[in-house]
Amino acid sequence: MRMQKRPDPEEVRRTRDFYDWWAPFYDATNWLAARLRGASDFTERRKAVERLGLAPGMRVLEVSCGTGTNLPLLSEGVGQVGLVTGIDISARMLRRCRNKLRRKSDEASLLLGDAAKLPFADGSFDAVFHHGGIAEFPNKRAAIAEMARVARPGGKVVICDPGLPFDRPVRWINRQLLKLQPAYAAPPPVRHLPKTAQSVHVSWIRGDAWYLLEFVKA
């Protein structure tokens, strides 16, 4: 039997404090990192969101929505009759998210909470999205299990995070990123997927510097 790592409250607090600190510069550093890799942050986000196969009227959740850059793309996918929800553990990231949405006159329900204990009933969403952060979660398995649990049967789950493909040469810029951030060496978390994950597929985005792991909940 595989031992489950217990979420360490201290580790969760450290991650939250780190993102509270990063919140004011998060968007600028993200944009710069994408440019250095020769990729457009916006185009890459759109590519990832497209994998959710959103349609008008759907309910979509972004786990760890951060400053909310993906939320307008999710809203576009589900239209005015759909529902967009974002959850994040950092109050400062969420505050920036709220301000950004207000400027764009966009709407989403935002909640403060931990990805490993989502405050939603089973099957509450037609699609679940995670874009960045899971490498630092103290309990990836629990977070992925929660994403699957809150997706309805037949719903799509898309998880993206830094990672480098093993089947081709690593680009120079990605080797530098790997030195700065060891998280890039982690393989896509396929081994953490629950039994309900079907049609599992891994591809690479952001100039081969992020994996995109997608599955359908059985």
Ligand X SMILES: C[S@@+](CC[C@H](N)C(=O)[O-])C[C@H]1O[C@@H](n2cnc3c(N)ncnc32)[C@H](O)[C@@H]1O
How far apart CA 40 and CA 36 sit, in angstroms, is: 10
Q: Closest approach of Cβ 15 to ligand X, in Å?
A: 4
Q: Pattern of binders to ligand X over 84-123, x per CB under 6 A?
A: ----xxx--x--------------------xxx-------
Helix boundaries (H) for 51-156: 71-78, 91-104, 140-150
Which of the stretches 66-74, 144-152, 168-176, 192-200 binds ligand X when contact is defined by CB under 6 A? 66-74
Coil, helix or strand at residue 203: strand
Alpha carbon separation from 166 to 85, 130, 163, 183 (Å, rounded): 34, 22, 9, 14
Q: Which of 33, 49, 60, 66 binds ligand X (CB under 6 A)?
A: 66
Q: Closest approach of Cβ 173 to ligand X, in Å?
A: 18
Q: Closest approach of Cβ 151 to ligand X, in Å?
A: 17
Q: Which of 59, 69, 126, 215 binds ligand X (CB under 6 A)?
A: 69
Alpha carbon separation from 205 to 119, 162, 186, 194 (Å, rounded): 30, 9, 15, 24
70 in contact with ligand X (CB under 6 A): yes
Nearer to ligand X, 6 or 168 (CB): 6
Q: Closest approach of Cβ 69 to ligand X, in Å?
A: 5
Q: Closest approach of Cβ 189 to ligand X, in Å?
A: 14
Q: Which of 34, 64, 126, 206 binds ligand X (CB under 6 A)?
A: 64
Tell me how crowded residue 2 is: count the other CB atoms within 10 A of its CB: 7
How far apart CA 128 and CA 214 sit, in angstroms, is: 10
Nearer to ligand X, 132 or 155 (CB): 132
The secondary structure of residue 25, as a DSSP letter, is G
Q: Smallest Cα–Cα separation from 19: which of 70, 62, 87, 67?
A: 67
Q: Which of 65, 158, 159, 209 binds ligand X (CB under 6 A)?
A: 65
Q: Closest approach of Cβ 131 to ligand X, in Å?
A: 4
Nearer to ligand X, 21 or 153 (CB): 21
Using an 8 Å Cβ cutoff, are 111 and 83 in contact?
no
With b for 16 or more beta-carbon neighbours within 10 A and e for fewer, the 98-109 pattern comes to: eebbeeeeeebe
Q: Which residues bind ligand X (CB under 6 A)?
A: 12, 15, 19, 64-66, 69-70, 88-90, 93, 114-116, 131-133, 137
